[in-house]
Structures are given as C-alpha cells and as structure tokens.
Chains A and B, each alone.
Chain A
C-alpha cells in the first residue's frame, strides 16, 4: 500500500467516524437500534482493517479493543446504554485524533498514546476486559419456542474471509441473539490435504437450525458484513407439510452483485476537476449562445435547427454537471448533533436536536460555506434561545428544549431553517438596545420583522449574560454577511415565549443561472428567471415625467416598482414603450421597469472583481452570446435598497454608491 493512498484512507476514516458519531449519539439518546450498533461496528471495523494495511499499529491496537467491545454489544452480551455510548464517543474522538495525527504526519505522539491507554482502561472498566468477550450466549440446544419458525441456514465461508479481517464465529454468535440455535453442524469437508493447507484461508462452513421469530431478511442480515465472502442459504423449515422452500442462493448472489456494483457506482472525484468541468461548461453555454445568434443571422433553417438541438443538449449537460456538485445536507446536519450535545452539556441545559429535509441537495461549496453561519445560529439557539430548565418548567414547557434544523427547496432556492422552542426575541429589548447603540432613533414605526432584523446589524447583542460560546455581539452580523456573500438572505421569525426561527435562503448553485434578459438603453441586465412572475406593459398613465409615481395598480393590487434607468443612472431617454417585469422575492412583489424584454437565457455567472464587491443591487456579470456584457441583478438587495429609499427622495446614484 503506497503512501499515495493515505489521503483516501484519511478521508474515508473521517467519513466513517462521522457515521459512527451520528450512530453513537443516537444510542446515547436511548434509541439503540441494531442499525446504529451495526453502523458503529462497521465503522470501527473498517478503520481497523484499513489502518492495518498502512501499518498504523497504534490505530489498529486501539480500535481493536473498541471493536471487540462493540462485537459484544452486537451479540447482546453487553448492553448499550448512555454511559457506554458516552465512553465510546470519547474513544471515537480519540480515533479521530489518531487519524488526524497520521494526517499531520506525527503518528507517534506520546501524549496521544497515554490518553488512549486511559481511555481503554475506562472502557474496560465499563465493559469488562476483552477476555470476557468469550462468555457469550449459551448455545445449548433448546426446543423451539411456540410461534418461532424453524430456519435452516447453510453458510459456507469463502477462503478470503479471515484475511479480510472477519471471524466467522462472530456471525454465529450474533445469530444466537436472533433466536435459539437448535442444532449446529460444522462443515469441514473443504479442509484440504496437509500440503495445500493454508492457515490463513477459511475452509469452514456451518449448517445451523435456528428457531427464531425474526424474518428471513433479518436472519440474512446477520451475515451482512460477509455478504461477498460467503455462500449463504436460508430456508424456512415449515412445521406442517407446507414446507416453504425459499432458496435464496440465486437471489443472494444477485443481491451481493448489486450491492457491489452500487459500491463502485459512486467514486471519489477531486473537487478541482469538477470545478474545471463546470467552468468549461460555462464557456460551452456562452459559445453555444453565440452560435445560436450567428445561425439566426445566417438565416439557414437547417443550421438553426441543429443549433437548437445543440442548445438543448448543452442545457442538459449543464444540469447534469451541476448535479455532480450537489450534495445532501444530511451529513452536515448530523454533525450538529455533536455540537448540540456538547454545548448543551457544557451550559447545563437539556436540548434535543431534530433535523428534517436531510435529503435536500445543494451545491457542495455552498454547504461548506454555510457550515460556519449555521454553527453560529445553532449555538445562539442553544445559548440564548433555549431557556434554562427552571425557566422552562415555570413556563409550563417541556424541560427538554428542541432545536430544529430543516432544509427544503423553495422557488429556485434552498431554504435552511434553524428553529428553537425557546424564549423568543423581545421586541422592546431589541429596540431599546438599538436606540442605545445608535442604530435607530425611534422604534415605534418598525414592524416586528424590521425590529428583529436589527439583530443582524453590526455591533448588536441582546444577551444579558455573555458566555464563552457566543453572544459577544459579533455573531449575527457576521452570519448575515456570510450568507449575503453567497447571494443568500437571512430572515427571522420570533414569538416571545414560543421560540425563534432563522431562515437562510440560498441560491441553488453559484455557477450558472437561468436568467431573463432585459435591456435599458444600451445596457443589458439579467434577472434570475425563477423570480420573474410576469411581464406587463407600463401604460402611459404611469409615465409621469418626474418619475414620482412609484407604484401601479396591477389587477387591483398595489405593485411598487423601480426604474432600472434611475437606479443605475443610465443616461438615455426612456424608450417609447416601457415594460414592467413583476418579480416575487422573499414574499414580496415588486416591479422593475425596463425598456426591452429580450427573453430567457442561461447566464454563466462571472463574479465581480473585489473592487465592485460593495456594490449592492448587482450580483455578478455574464457574457452574452454577442460578446456583450450583462449585469446580473441581485434582486434581494435591490429590493432592500428600493424599499429603504422609497420614502426618502429618490437618490438615483445610491445603488452604486452605498
């Protein structure tokens, strides 16, 4: 095994450790399912196996002890409970430290070794010494209890099973926990002659009669870890004449093949390669648009047809490529289980984390960038949101507080919610603090959501008691800044006494958007297509020369609008026919007045250079098929901007100044 495989080992181990953590936390909460125990065992086992390949004896030795304890949990000779889960969690952390040490290239850390020793002592104090591993379930032949079906299991282990680090005996022991082993016969026919005998190869098989009320699936699942390393046959022996024969051998090999191919169906790809691919596809989209325009000019119908087909294919390729970067948010959510547990313990609150929408997918870079703000929000919820147990009790709430993480797709964006059932925000206190800090002068005219939005202003904190976790007054504005940097928005709902929900809204991807192209004078702008609701003509009656009127009556509803010409101080006279693009964003509707409607297009987002990073109202730029530049409107900040400047005398240059 070469060192070049080491990074893969480290990445895989970390992944397994994350799974292990999630499962352990589940156990610690008292929901010890066989699934969870199996996944913990699998993680420990795999890490041990791979470390062995790299000769990382420190990890092998430590993990071996952990694994054998887990083996006993699987065999039901040891009860998984909170205390054991907590110790195992510490052991997991230690394995992580060991792996990190390997990653840092200093695997022989003495301090780590000492810590490992004391952990193992703790573990064996709780679980009994490793020698006790052999006092397993009794296998005395017992008559099958009533209601139990009798199963005949024929299993022949393949030669490689021992070298793969599996001990067939442990599966037989595990089987004993699923029912009563009525009869067992060791199959030794495959033992070869002395000359061919290989001590590391497995030649044994078993024929077992098991009285169990478990389903066939559960019994077969006992051999899950050696699926590929054994030939398994499970049949039910009926009591009456109706002997159900379900020879599963065929199906089983198929199944194992399927599981094998599903394994190889996912592969690890360097993130840079993906980025390069997305970049290229961006270029492809642009080049495709150029071709379409040229073809249209040329007026050859055949050429037009083929470019259209090409455009459709490019679009599909683009979607597929973007999907490659999509990752489920679940693993990120489950990481918070640990944070919640540790922080809650530290400050002495009882808090449970619930998650929803784990299968929601979003761009990998988004997930990475959103983890920090999320951490902050979760900590905030634990620290400031959830009340202490006494307060909760006196308010008649469940003593255990709940923090909830949710993710879902909503009209072209991803929404991530952090909710708690804590004390909620106190409007008066926020306003008082904001006045004290000089953020506002008078709070009476603010709506609730405007008042709550104040906590995202720099230099604001409502916590009366500052803890070392959060609440130094630097938090929420950083969250907002980070989210805004991802072209996202943050909003907050709160009800005093009932809880707070922070909602982060993010674009699906950072790279390419479907856009709606509009023109003002000689300039082109792109509006994200998913926000566009409809386009209507701006009637003459609304075109007052001074531009005073800032709303129209759209089928009986008031629709405020902005003129892009004014927002960006474009020096050209309004065209004879203007249109309003009606957009809906974050629950509000607004009209954008433009000269020309130029149709849908795919926009490859080119970020603005840092020089322009402070400009609000513009999210980026894109190159049109004609080679012209178009600015992509950042509708959310545009909305903010025009709603805030609405009352004041219109300050056209404001958008570019800020």
Chain B
C-alpha cells in the first residue's frame, strides 16, 4: 500500500498512480483516512506518478469531506503530473503555488 498515514499530524501522502486503474483502491484508503481525521489535512502528492480525471475527482471528494467537517484540505508539493492537471483544470488546491512542479 502506497498510502502512508500520519506522516505528521494531518498529513497524508499518496504514492504511485492516481488513475482510474487504481481508483477504487486509493479511494478506499484515502477517503477512510480523511473520514477518521479531525482537523486540517495536508495532502502530499509529490510521489504521484500518474494523475487523471479519476485522481482529480478523488482529491476533490476528499476536500469536500474535510470541508464538510469545517476544516480545510491543501495539496502540498504536487508532482509534475499533478500540477499539470490542476493547472489545466484551473483548480487551486495548493497553498503555495511556488511549490508547484517542484
């Protein structure tokens, strides 16, 4: 499993592909972690190697769940492919845009 929980408090990291091929698997782990977590979440996507619509939806879904609890979710250190998609779709999920494509 590429999803490491609680690297630090409120920090989640997804590694590997975030695509339709792994959507169910990633969704289960990611959404479960988000659900059990109270407080702001930093989603570390620096190790994501492929990112498609399904991946984007997952992140949006996770953010919505966090926001429903009155907290916020930020994508930190998006990998190149994640940054490209976020840029293409004009979604601001990152706190610090200078970190994009790092």
Contacts of B49 in A (CB 8 A): 131
Does A169 lie within 8 Å of B20, measured CB to CB?
no
Flag the segment in A191-199, A278-286, A535-543 that touches B.
A191-199
Does A184 lie within 8 Å of B24, measured CB to CB?
no
Residue interface mask B78-97, A partner, CB < 8 A = 1: 00110011011111000000
B100 at interface, CB cutoff 8 A: no
Residue interface mask A39-52, B partner, CB < 8 A = 1: 00000000000000
Report the minimum CB–CB distance from B2 to chain A (whole Å). 15
Flag the segment in B3-11, B39-47, B50-58 that touches A.
B50-58
B35 at interface, CB cutoff 8 A: yes
In the complex, A162→B19 CA distance in Å?
10
Report the minimum CB–CB distance from A294 to chain B (whole Å). 69
Does A162 lie within 8 Å of B53, measured CB to CB?
yes
In the complex, A183→B90 CA distance in Å?
8
**Which of B26, B31, B84, B90 meets A185, CB within 8 Å?**
B90
**Which of B20, B84, B90 meets A200, CB within 8 Å?**
B20
Report the minimum CB–CB distance from B37 to chain A (whole Å). 13
Max chain B Cβ within 10 angstroms of own Cβ: one of A136, A163, A200: A200
Does A194 lie within 8 Å of B61, measured CB to CB?
yes
In the complex, A172→B88 CA distance in Å?
8
Count of chain A residues near B, Cβ 8 A = 28
B60 at interface, CB cutoff 8 A: yes
Contacts of B58 in A (CB 8 A): 199
A227 at interface, CB cutoff 8 A: no
Does B52 lie within 8 Å of A191, measured CB to CB?
no
A179 at interface, CB cutoff 8 A: no
Residue interface mask A185-224, B partner, CB < 8 A = 1: 1101001001001011011101000000000000000000
A645 at interface, CB cutoff 8 A: no
Contacts of B60 in A (CB 8 A): 188, 191
Contacts of B64 in A (CB 8 A): 191, 194
Report the minimum CB–CB distance from A329 to chain B (whole Å). 41
Residue interface mask A164-194, B partner, CB < 8 A = 1: 0001110011001000000111101001001
**Interface residues of B toward A: which range?**
20 to 34
A135 at interface, CB cutoff 8 A: yes
Does A134 lie within 8 Å of B81, measured CB to CB?
yes
Within 8 A of B (CB), among A107-144: 131, 134-136, 139
Contacts of B81 in A (CB 8 A): 131, 134
Known: A194-B31, A199-B27. Is A136-B90 also a contact (CB below 8 A)? no
Contacts of B27 in A (CB 8 A): 197, 199
Contacts of A191 in B (CB 8 A): 57, 60-61, 64
Report the minimum CB–CB distance from B85 to chain A (whole Å). 6
In the complex, A134→B84 CA distance in Å?
7
Does A139 lie within 8 Å of B88, measured CB to CB?
yes
Known: A167-B52, A191-B57, A194-B31. Is A199-B84 also a contact (CB below 8 A)? no
Does B90 lie within 8 Å of A186, measured CB to CB?
yes
Does B87 lie within 8 Å of A139, measured CB to CB?
yes
In the complex, A173→B52 CA distance in Å?
12
Within 8 A of B (CB), among A522-538: none
In the complex, A139→B89 CA distance in Å?
9
Does A204 lie within 8 Å of B53, measured CB to CB?
yes
Report the minimum CB–CB distance from A547 to chain B (whole Å). 84
Contacts of A186 in B (CB 8 A): 89-91
From B84, which residue of chain A is reached at the shortest CB distance? A134
In the complex, A134→B60 CA distance in Å?
20
In the complex, A188→B61 CA distance in Å?
9
Max chain A Cβ within 10 angstroms of own Cβ: one of B58, B65, B88: B88
Report the minimum CB–CB distance from A52 to chain B (whole Å). 10
Does B89 lie within 8 Å of A197, measured CB to CB?
no
In the complex, A176→B87 CA distance in Å?
13
Contacts of B91 in A (CB 8 A): 186
Report the minimum CB–CB distance from A249 to chain B (whole Å). 22
Max chain A Cβ within 10 angstroms of own Cβ: one of B53, B56, B61: B53
Max chain B Cβ within 10 angstroms of own Cβ: one of A139, A184, A194: A194
Contacts of A134 in B (CB 8 A): 51, 80-81, 84-85
Report the minimum CB–CB distance from A56 to chain B (whole Å). 16
Contacts of A139 in B (CB 8 A): 87-88, 90
Contacts of B65 in A (CB 8 A): 194
From A161, which residue of chain B is reached at the shortest CB distance? B53
**Which of B24, B51, B61, B88 meets A136, CB within 8 Å?**
B88
In the complex, A185→B89 CA distance in Å?
7
Does A194 lie within 8 Å of B35, measured CB to CB?
yes
Report the minimum CB–CB distance from B94 to chain A (whole Å). 15
Known: A191-B64, A197-B61. Is A162-B31 also a contact (CB below 8 A)? no
Contacts of B20 in A (CB 8 A): 162-163, 167, 200
Known: A131-B49, A169-B89. Is A204-B57 also a contact (CB below 8 A)? yes
From B26, which residue of chain A is reached at the shortest CB distance? A199
Does B61 lie within 8 Å of A172, measured CB to CB?
no
Report the minimum CB–CB distance from A81 to chain B (whole Å). 25
Known: A169-B89, A200-B23. Is A136-B84 also a contact (CB below 8 A)? yes
| A-B complex: 7 closest residue pairs judged by Cβ atoms | A199-B27, A199-B23, A134-B81, A184-B90, A134-B84, A167-B52, A162-B20
Interface on A for B, CB 8 Å cutoff?
A: 131, 134-136, 139, 157, 162-163, 167-169, 172-173, 176, 183-186, 188, 191, 194, 197, 199-200, 202-204, 206
Can you identify 10 A-B contacts, CB atoms within 8 angstroms?
A131-B81, A136-B84, A139-B88, A167-B20, A169-B85, A184-B89, A191-B60, A199-B23, A199-B27, A200-B23
12 more A-B residue pairs beyond the given contacts A139-B88, A199-B24, with a C-beta to C-beta distance below 8 A: A134-B84, A135-B80, A135-B84, A169-B52, A169-B53, A186-B89, A191-B57, A194-B31, A197-B61, A199-B27, A200-B54, A202-B54
